[in-house]
Structure formats: structure tokens, C-alpha cells
Amino acid sequence: MAQDNFSRVTEFILLGFSDTQELQLLFFTVFLLAYTMVLLGNLLIIVTVRTDPKLSSPMYFLLCNLSFIDICYTSVTIPRVLVALLSGHKAIAFEGCMAQLFFLHFVGSSEMFLLTVMAFDRYTAICRPLHYVAIMARGACRALVAACWVGGFIHSIVQTVLMLQLPFCGPNTIHSYFCDVPPIIRLACTDTALTEWLMASNSGLISLGCFLVLVASYALILAKVRAHLSQGHWKALSTCASHVMAVTLLFMPCIFTYLRPAGTLPTSKYVCVIYTIFSPMMNPLIYTLRSSEIKESMWRL
């Protein structure tokens, strides 16, 4: 059948979590508290790092950028969810859905690249301490952060263009609380096998590749620490422990969600909560509790 015979879908319906009013109020409260924690926690980190001259090392510069990304990442999805839970209006325009998908992958993939850069920063600080200042100079750090944003933009453009080429003519009900590739691609009125594999190769391989690079960097750091047991190395390893927690919260659900064709297994909306809400909410707690410098600066602030 020719695509010209299809009536184009103009809006999607995001089912969310429940139609029961009591449960909607419960989810609204939980999501509002989580979003508030994300905003306050990450804004506190940004203000602390920007106002304390002692926190001028590359690690804190990267942490400040991570906090900014987490704010942007949650702001793509949570405000829309809060409005839907409070008003009961679950429809989202086709253009708005594609825009949400674009910014979700833009900011999300940028965060993955940035976490990889942060792992490289810790590897350089522990395994090559004499060259650390030269390798992680401020200009180099800014260039690496810019590269993360550019990489995220390219990835998101590819995902969005692939989605816009699909015809949507019938079902418009999305079994999720935000617009993402796996639940939307199932609604296309055409064979999506090739598109699913292309998208899985794009998002899934980025998630898996960054995760493997992170695992390799941690293995090298562990080997270095075991060979040189000093107070400074153990302090750096303690910082890496918080990084491991943040990485696990973000990458494992993403690999499960994206590293497979969309039609093979249903994507659980509760799995998506881990990397869209829980991970950005926990990042400020993980990094501040594991860093005495951050805690002392916050108390002074």
C-alpha cells in the first residue's frame, strides 16, 4: 500500500502509569518530589563549584557540566508528566512528541559521552599523575565537553530522521509516559525491521560502547591502585566508586532498552524510570556524599 493513502497521525496518547485518580495523585507526588530533588541537588552542585575557587580542578568542572545535563535531561520528560497527571490530558502533538524524542536522546547521549570523559579524567589522575595537568588542561576539558554535545546532537539527529520517515496512520497510543523510540516504532504502518536494527545499532551500541570503555578504565585504575597502595590513590579510587554507581544506574537500563529491536520484548516503563528520573536524582547525592571537598564547600556556601 502506498504511503500517500495513509491518514497521518496528528497526536499521540501517552498512557502513563495508571488511570486511577488516587494512583495518579500518588505518582504526581513522587515525580514532583523527585524533580525537586533533581533541580535543587544539581543547582546546588553548580553554584558550589562555580563560587568556590578551590573546586577548580577538571573533575569538578566536569561534575558541574554533568549536573547541568541532568537538569536538562529530566526537564525534557518530568514537567510534561506532571501536567498530564494533574490535568488528565495525556495527548501530545506529533511535532511535540518528535521534539521530546530529539531532546531526550540529545541530552541523554551527551551525558553518556560526558561520563566516559569523567572516567578518562579519573584514569589520567591515577595512572598518569605527572601528565595530568597537561592532558586535562582547561582548554582540553572544554573541548571534550563540546565534543560530548556534538556527539549527542549527531546521534539524536539520526534517531529523529529515522522516526520522521516512518508512516503513522492508525494506532496512536503509547504505552509509556514519554515519547521514545521503542514504543513509538511499534505504531508505524509499515515493516520496521530494518529501521529497528538501525536504531538499535545507533542507541544500543553507543550505550554498550561507552559502558565497555568505562569498565576498561575502572579495571586499569584498580590494577594501578593494587600496585601502589597510597593514601592519594585510595582517595582517587573512592571518587571512582561514586562514578561506578552513577554509571550502573544509567547504562544498564539503557542497554536493556535500546540494544535490541523494538519488537522483541516489551519495554517496561518502570525500567525507563531508572535512567530518566532515578539516576539524575541520585547523582547529586552520590557525588556529594563521596567528596569531602564538595561537602565542605557546601557548608561554607
**Bridge partner list, 13:** 91, 173
The more confidently predicted of residues 194 and 39 is 39
pTM comes to: 0.87
Give the whole-angstrom CA distance, residue 209 versus residue 109: 12
How does pLDDT run across 66-106, given as a tens digit for each residue?
999 999 999 999 999 998 888 878 888 999 999 999 999 99
* Region of poorest pLDDT, from 84-88, 148-152, 187-191, 264-268: 264-268
Q: Is the per-residue pLDDT at 197 higher than 90?
A: no
* Domain parsing of the chain, residue ranges: 11-300
How does pLDDT run across 253-281, given as a tens digit for each residue?
888 888 876 554 555 678 888 888 888 88
1: helix, strand or coil: coil
pLDDT of 221:
80
Cell triple for residue 141?
576539558
The more confidently predicted of residues 262 and 53 is 53
pLDDT of 110:
94
In one-letter notation, the amino acid at residue 219 is A
**Longest Cα–Cα distance in the chain:** 71
Q: Is the per-residue pLDDT at 296 higher than 90?
A: no
- 11-300, which class in CATH? mainly alpha
Give the whole-angstrom CA distance, residue 30 versus residue 233: 39
The more confidently predicted of residues 151 and 9 is 151
Q: Is the per-residue pLDDT at 35 higher than 60?
A: yes
Give the whole-angstrom CA distance, residue 216 versus residue 208: 12
**Of how many residues is the chain composed?**
301
Residue 8: burial class (beta carbons within 10 Å; 0-12, 13-18, 19+)? exposed
